[in-house]
């Protein structure tokens, strides 16, 4: 297909009628219709977008032809024509092996004609791992660039829920993993919103279980979160930690958090952790706060926080050992090892035997 120049000079009051007649003429050649399409694009004839959308739905045209039509419609200001293109997202287009047509339709319809619910239904793994086309470009560049102006705390839930499923070990060939981390990083500012915070907690755990970070560190569209700024925002970190603590089935992962790339708590948060443990000392949730505390303990911490440890021990001896006993065990690592080995042996007795 040739790219003709200076077509905008054909802008005239009678030109739209001529172009529309060419598009509707069944006897007109494909070459003449393609030239007419180029003129529509260069002259920005929004009113003829409807006829272009009809051609884009024509299954007798090649994927390349239909993609070119959709990309022209994307640049025109005609919401009804773009609405018609949504039919291509639900159609079974078997020849679109590289997602070229799908990518063009998403580009044309998002965000003006697609809700976030409709968007996530079409965020699927690319059919071709090595092909860098319209769909991959939409995932990597176009879609993230629209977050700031189009995503709100009210409409972001479907997209964040989708992102959690893709917070998996990095796959350099799959742009969905990178997109998921961009979504997660963007939503971090909404930890004060309960349903968003719960999803952020869920996503953090998904990433933690896979020994990776849910955040995008480096991004030219400013959809990243540095570890320094993350640590400085204590309120957001502890809000998500609170949501995780509320999930009893995730208790075994709490001790892994301080060693993650973006730890939700650190030694500076110990006063808060002790306060939460004391407030919940007689409840099951108290054990989870103590699990966080235990993951930070060493000789220096025990000595610095001996008073807090002993107060908590006095309130509930079953919750935490006294600081004196802790220091003795630290000075005798063999004792600790024997204690752990014995606990493991006791647990083994409860394991179901194979028949």
Q: Which tokens sit at 146?
A: 């629209």
At 341 the pLDDT is: 62
At 219 the pLDDT is: 58
At 226 the pLDDT is: 82
Mean pLDDT, rounded, for 288-298: 94
Mean pLDDT, rounded, for 311-316: 94
At 168 the pLDDT is: 81
Contact 224, 216 (CB under 8 A): yes
Mean pLDDT, rounded, for 298-326: 94
At 251 the pLDDT is: 78
pLDDT at 186 over 50: yes
pLDDT at 323 over 60: yes
* 43-101 per-position pLDDT tens digit: 999 999 999 999 999 999 999 999 999 999 999 999 999 999 999 998 878 889 899 99
Please provide the average confidence, as pLDDT, over all residues in the chain. 89
Q: pTM (2 decimals)?
A: 0.85
Indicate the range of 22-31, 164-173, 236-245 predicted with least confidence.
164-173
Q: How many CB atoms lie within 10 A of CB 200?
A: 24
Q: Which tokens sit at 266?
A: 């650190």
pLDDT at 336 over 70: no
Q: How many CB atoms lie within 10 A of CB 146?
A: 12
Q: How far apart are alpha carbons 179 and 354 in whole angstroms?
A: 44
pLDDT at 10 over 70: yes
For 71-88, b/e burial (b = at least 16 CB within 10 A) is bbbbebebeebbebbbeb
3-state secondary structure the chain: CCCCCCHHHHCCCCHHHHHHHHHHCCCCCHHHHHHHHHHHHHHCCHHHHHHHHHHHCCCCCCHHHHHHHHHHHHHCCCHHHHHHHCHHHHCCCCCCCCCHHHHHHHHHHCCCCCCHHHHHHCCCCCCCCCCCCHHHHHHHHHHHHCHHHHCCCCCCHHHHHHHHCCCCCCCCCCHHHHHHHHHHHHHHHHCCCHHHHHHHHHHHHHHHHCCCCCCCCCCCCCCCCCHHHHHHCHHHHHHHHHHHHCCHHHHHHHHHHHHCCCCCCCHHHHHHHHHHHHHCCCCHHHHHHHHHHHCCCCHHHHHHCHHHHHHHHHHCCCCCCCHHHHHHHHHCHHHHHHHHHHHHHHHHCCCCCCC
């Amino acid at each position: 297909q040739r790219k003709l120049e200076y077509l905008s000079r054909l802008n005239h009051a009678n030109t739209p009628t001529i172009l529309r007649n060419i598009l509707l003429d069944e006897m007109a050649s494909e070459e003449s219709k393609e030239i007419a399409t180029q003129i529509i694009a260069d002259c920005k004839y929004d009113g003829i977008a409807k006829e272009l959308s009809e051609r884009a739905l024509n299954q007798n045209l090649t994927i390349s032809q239909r993609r070119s039509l959709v990309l022209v419609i994307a640049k025109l200001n005609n919401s009804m024509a773009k609405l018609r293109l949504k039919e291509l997202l639900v159609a079974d287009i078997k020849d679109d092996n590289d997602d070229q047509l799908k990518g063009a339709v998403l580009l044309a319809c998002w965000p003006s004609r697609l809700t976030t619910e409709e968007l996530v239904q079409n965020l699927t793994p690319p059919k071709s791992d090595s092909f860098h086309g319209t769909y991959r470009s939409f995932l990597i560049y176009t879609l993230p660039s629209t977050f700031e102006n189009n995503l709100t705390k009210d409409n972001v839930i479907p997209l964040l829920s989708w992102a959690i499923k893709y917070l998996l070990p990095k796959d350099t060939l799959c742009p969905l993993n990178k997109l998921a981390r961009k979504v997660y990083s963007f939503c971090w500012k909404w930890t004060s919103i309960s349903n968003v915070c719960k999803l952020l907690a869920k996503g953090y755990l998904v990433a933690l279980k896979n020994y990776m970070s849910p955040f995008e560190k480096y991004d030219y569209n400013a959809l990243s979160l540095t570890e320094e700024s993350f640590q400085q925002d204590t309120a957001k970190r502890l809000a998500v930690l609170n949501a995780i603590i509320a999930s009893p089935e995730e208790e075994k992962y709490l001790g892994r958090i301080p060693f993650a790339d973006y730890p939700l708590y650190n030694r500076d948060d110990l006063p808060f952790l002790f306060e939460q443990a004391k407030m919940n000392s007689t409840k099951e949730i108290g054990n989870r706060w103590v699990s966080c505390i235990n993951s930070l303990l060493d000789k220096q911490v025990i000595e610095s926080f001996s008073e807090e440890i002993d107060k908590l021990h006095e309130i509930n001896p079953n919750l935490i050992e006294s600081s004196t006993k802790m220091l003795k065990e630290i000075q005798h690592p063999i004792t600790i090892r024997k204690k752990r080995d014995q606990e493991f042996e006791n647990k083994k007795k409860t394991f179901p035997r194979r028949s």
